[in-house]
């Protein structure tokens, strides 16, 4: 698995969920298939009058989510930017060619109400629940940053093995301290709840 394969999987899914934060701070999510895929970028179409467009122009923060039939979750966290004016027509026409239904939604020149955004610098989370043990990994494209999350076992570990016994994925290996195999961890928190000496920490609280 790699970042480019994740983007290809988004393309296979075809209809993606785009989440933003509304101007009133409420969560907003919508399904979008007007997307053009490149190996290192996503281009998407919306209309200038839509709340979605206003939210993107406001701060550009967006999460894009897809779930495959094989139980793979792919989540992109990124900042969307408006494509330069001189490239707007090129990407709009490309998206309309690739998604012919759009000509029904925006016939003729009415498509000119559209605006094309691009996502280039992205963090990608891949999470496969269809294998055992489950598999997760983070990737980046451009200037996207990996953001650590999940749990870790600190030097306070006394080696009792309680955490390994309650881990649903069997992804904690013995050692001094015991170690969580991060690529197989569900982030369920069972090890943290059961550790008798509070040696398990949430990574987000550590950084």
Q: Return the range that interacts with ligand SF4 (CB under 6 A); candidates 15-23, 26-34, 103-111, 189-197.
A: 189-197
Q: Return the range that interacts with ligand SF4 (CB under 6 A); candidates 34-42, 71-79, 140-148, 186-194.
A: 186-194
* Phi, psi dihedral angles at 193 (to 5 degrees): -70, -30
Asked if residue 202 binds ligand SF4 (CB under 6 A), the reply is: no
Give the span between the Cα atoms of 92 and 46, in whole angstroms.
Answer: 10
Minimum distance of ligand SF4 from residue 25's CB (angstroms):
30
Minimum distance of ligand SF4 from residue 179's CB (angstroms):
10
Minimum distance of ligand SF4 from residue 34's CB (angstroms):
37
Q: Provide the token pair at 80.
A: 């969307």
Burial 92-117 (b: 16+ CB within 10 A, else e): beebbeebeebeeebeeeebeebbbb
Burial of 151: CB neighbours in 10 Å, binned 0-12, 13-18, 19+: buried
Q: Provide the token pair at 111.
A: 């498509």
Q: Binding string, 126-155, against ligand SF4, x = CB under 6 A?
A: -------------------------x----
Residues near ligand SF4 (CB under 6 A): 151, 167-169, 171-172, 180, 185-191
């Amino acid at each position: 698995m790699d970042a480019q394969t994740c983007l290809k999987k988004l393309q296979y899914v075809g209809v993606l969920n785009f989440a933003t934060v509304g101007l009133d701070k409420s969560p907003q999510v919508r399904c979008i298939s007007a997307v053009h895929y490149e190996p290192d970028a996503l281009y998407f179409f919306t209309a200038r009058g839509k709340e979605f467009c206003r939210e993107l122009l406001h701060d550009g923060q967006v999460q894009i989510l897809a779930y495959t039939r094989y139980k793979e979750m792919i989540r992109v966290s990124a900042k969307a930017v408006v494509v330069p004016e001189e490239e707007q027509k090129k990407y709009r026409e490309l998206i309309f060619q690739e998604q012919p239904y759009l000509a029904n939604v925006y016939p003729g020149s009415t498509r000119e109400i559209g605006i094309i955004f691009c996502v280039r610098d992205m963090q990608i989370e891949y999470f496969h629940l269809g294998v055992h043990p489950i598999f997760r990994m983070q990737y980046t494209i451009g200037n996207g940053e990996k953001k650590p999350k999940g749990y870790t076992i600190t030097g306070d570990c006394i080696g009792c093995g309680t955490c390994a016994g309650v881990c649903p994925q069997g992804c904690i290996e013995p050692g001094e301290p015991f170690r969580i195999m991060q690529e197989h961890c569900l982030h369920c928190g069972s090890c943290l709840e059961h550790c008798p000496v509070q040696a398990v920490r949430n990574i987000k609280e550590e950084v």
